[in-house]
Amino acid sequence: MRMPESLSIQINGAACRVAQGTTVAAALLLADQASRISVTGEPRAALCGMGICFECRAIVNGIAHRRTCQILCEQGMTVESGQ
């Protein structure tokens, strides 16, 4: 058994440590953060996990509308809940 290496990312301004290989969508769920706020103001989180539903889209490294289930966390990455 070897422990996965961890890396540090910022989610909505808070520092989080996740294992290497964690998708950004999984990191958002682990941090209990909504990936986006819907057009009527509801918090939403990942639904399909496979890049189809776009519910997990968030702002990654300043770029909006990224499907976070299709992106792996990288050291120093910033993630913010999207609209």
Interface residues with another protein (CB under 8 A) are: 1-2, 4, 18-23, 25-27, 29-30, 34, 38-40, 42-55, 57, 60-61, 65-66, 69-72, 74, 77
DSSP string, 20-70: TT-BHHHHHHHTT--SEE-TTS-EE--SSSSSSS-TTEEEETTEEEEEGGG
To another protein, the closest distance from the beta carbon of 19 in angstroms equals 5
Distance CA 24, CA 67 (A): 9
Rank residues 8 and 65 by Cβ distance to another protein and give the closer one.
65
To another protein, the closest distance from the beta carbon of 67 in angstroms equals 8
